[in-house]
Structure 1
């Protein structure tokens, strides 16, 4: 791992230099994430005040902003940091549609992944709630929401679910406890308020009727909130009439419908939601409906409906058009990645 250079503090630090906390608020990430990036990827500030306190110049912040854009688009953090440090590379887009696979370039080291999953699963099996809570918070703080979800949290949920399925009625309490504390950890991630996008319509998130597995869209809601995107979260088992009323009342730019199994996927409901319009005659709006979860089939969808694959690529699809408030399109082109629980 490259060491972070420690140049001598300049005599005249730019007046616009910001503290780590101020930069974190500006970017919508935690201060812990910034320190982790500095330690792991040598993308820290060029100067320190009194040799200790980090002070970020506009150039430092610009590099971080580029790194955030690249990672939001699915670029592994190490790759994004290299691009951000190199002005020539920063001018060229780095494309990656699917999230990193465990053990692949830019992902967590396999040994670290296994250790963190094992520790979280063992704490859940012991019903050790304080340990589960601490391990979840540590994973989210160290790796960021998307990587922690895809490489640590979701695989652990899958493993606990498999344990329950193969042990009859045993371990149901383990799955419930782990799910509760994952949900609580996700809700502790405070959304960022972005005054620069005051008129962007919200993204509506809901589980289809009869669907109780809401954790994947809770992760999506938290990730969108981290990026300052307005969200309306309706959780599990939203009745059809309530969904239609919510679409008409909020005028969303996109509706994400989660289905865990084919028994809950309702194509007619998706078509109905996609056909809802609002606004005055001649200037009517309508949502794009994004179908997320393994319950939806892989076939061609109805007009204005798209398949959404993976938390990382799904986030890219939804977040990309925000700057110009354009409709969400192109979700069907995103590659599959770990998303569901």
Structure 2
């Protein structure tokens, strides 16, 4: 939301400042607007206001309640604290500040707003059900998706650092990052690109968290590397970055070439690096190229009597229905792919 435009008048007249009430209206939001901005339901916002006094500090008779930036900052703190598991009553006291009294009777109670289901149509209903088959959505995934919907970059970054440090990159990708990204993608598709900014923000922070692991200054084991590349028309790289992070955690050498690697450049990279394994990623069927996969598997290096070829791993949903040929494997999941690459490299 941009800053209010300066008041102007006809030539030769002096512009006058707008009245106080319009300024307040332009610089503030309604309860519904605040709920949409933070990714919680209006019902939850009203419940927090009723139970804990987290509401607009300034009200005007005959007008909708308006939330100023200072009011919204308190509500953002409440969202962060409850997402981290702090009981709502304590979260309210921390958000309001030790000097600010919480209304009498405020405290955790059955039907507390922090635990109410979000209203239908609220951004808080971003679907996190498509998690790996191992079980229900984890609290970390739920917290991450909610922070992303709020566009709370500090909380998204903190949560990603925490899950990577606590779980390792592979488990963090499988149990938290990937389900959250799928949820954002489904929400975007279902809302006509309304939540594309959520997916972009989350993707950038996931990439940052994975690269923090992949770029650790730990000397890898000696030996031929694994080569990671996207197909020539493939722009998605996050799954490859998860593979790179997993290889780095195991101390295995790799070369990451990223998205949209031209066919001849990929084959030249194979000849120059002499990899034991080549993983090529395809997110959609139109980017999967069986001919290029076969050419990569047939690319040899080394002198006479010591010629070698890589094993190619085709990965990603774009390869669905493709039958691997000679020298080509199709791993089922990230841990399986890492195990197979480690076998090939060692």
| Range of TM-score over shorter length | 0.5 to 0.7
Q: TM-score, normalised by structure 1?
A: 0.60
Q: Does the 8 Å CA contact 2:277/2:312 hold for their aligned counterparts? A: yes
Aligned counterpart for 2:191 among listed residues 149, 161, 167: 167
Quote the Cα distance in structure 2 between the aligned partners of 1:250 and 1:292.
20
**Correspondence for 2:171:** 147
Q: Does 1:177 align with 2:209?
A: no
Aligned counterpart for 1:136 among listed residues 160, 163, 177: 160
Aligned counterpart for 1:228 among listed residues 214, 237, 251: 251
Q: Does the 8 Å CA contact 2:277/2:344 hold for their aligned counterparts? A: no
Q: Does the 8 Å CA contact 1:121/1:156 hold for their aligned counterparts? A: yes
**Correspondence for 1:304:** 327
Aligned counterpart for 1:102 among listed residues 130, 134, 151: 134
Quote the Cα distance in structure 1 between the aligned partners of 2:261 and 2:344.
27
- Give the superposition deviation at 1:319: 1.2
Q: Does the 8 Å CA contact 1:191/1:227 hold for their aligned counterparts? A: no
Quote the Cα distance in structure 2 between the aligned partners of 1:114 and 1:255.
32
Quote the Cα distance in structure 1 between the aligned partners of 2:336 and 2:251.
17
- The DSSP-based 3-state class of the residue aligned with 2:142 is helix
Q: Does 1:319 align with 2:335?
A: no
Residue deviations 1:164-201, cap 9 Å, x none?
00010211111111000000001111446456x32x10
- The DSSP-based 3-state class of the residue aligned with 1:212 is coil
**Correspondence for 1:239:** 262
Q: CA RMSD in A?
A: 1.6
Aligned counterpart for 1:250 among listed residues 273, 283, 297: 273
Structure 1's unaligned 5+ residue stretches are 1-99, 104-109, 326-341
Q: Does 1:157 align with 2:189?
A: no
Q: Does the 8 Å CA contact 2:231/2:282 hold for their aligned counterparts? A: yes
Aligned counterpart for 2:290 among listed residues 247, 261, 267: 267
User: How many residues are matched?
Assistant: 214
Higher RCO by CA contacts (8 Å cutoff, separation 6 or greater) = 1
Q: TM-score, normalised by structure 2?
A: 0.59
